């Protein structure tokens, strides 16, 4: 069990560019979550997968955001036409199932800076 990993850890991009982040959950965890954390705030939910199915998306997830989890393993979060307001820490978490009492394991995050 190597924990949840995220890549890259830091990303600096210019406004208008597209960026993609990757999350590798703990192996055999079937649930995967994306959260966004801005400075001085707690994480806010973005979207959630059970296996490969995207079951819920927050209204925070505008049309410029898209997330996938092909084959129910790793997940990617893409932001198109980045804006300065997208600057934040993007956190990924995974969990086993409801029987695991909903414990979510978090990755180290990807810090995005849009200049």
Partner 1 sequence: AQTVTQSQPEMSVQEAETVTLSCTYDTSESNYYLFWYKQPPSRQMILVIRQEAYKQQNATENRFSVNFQKAAKSFSLKISDSQLGDTAMYFCATLDQGGSEKLVFGKGTKLTVNP
Q: Which is nearer to partner 1, 57 or 80 (CB)?
A: 57
3-state SS assignment for residue 84 = helix
- Tell whether residue 96 is a contact of partner 1 (CB under 8 A): no
Separation CA 103–CA 17 (nearest Å): 35
How buried is 108 (Cβ within 10 angstroms: 0-12 exposed, 13-18 middle, 19+ buried)? middle
**Stretch in the footprint of partner 1 (CB under 8 A) among 15-23, 28-36, 66-74, 80-88:** 28-36
- 91 with 107: CB under 8 angstroms? yes
- Tell whether residue 31 is a contact of partner 1 (CB under 8 A): yes
Where on the chain is the footprint of partner 1 (CB under 8 A)?
4, 31, 33, 35, 40-45, 48, 56, 58, 91, 93, 95, 98, 101-109
């Amino acid at each position: 069990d190597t924990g949840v990993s995220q890549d890259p850890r830091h990303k600096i991009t210019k406004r208008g560019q597209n960026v993609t982040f990757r999350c590798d959950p703990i192996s055999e965890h079937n649930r995967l979550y994306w959260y966004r954390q801005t400075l001085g705030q707690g994480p806010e939910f973005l979207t959630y997968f059970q296996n490969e199915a995207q079951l819920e998306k927050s209204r925070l997830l505008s049309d410029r955001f898209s997330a996938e989890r092909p084959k129910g393993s790793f997940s990617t979060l893409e932001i198109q036409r980045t804006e300065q307001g997208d600057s934040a820490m993007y956190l990924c978490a995974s969990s086993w199932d409801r029987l695991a009492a909903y414990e979510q394991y978090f990755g180290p995050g990807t810090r995005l800076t849009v200049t």
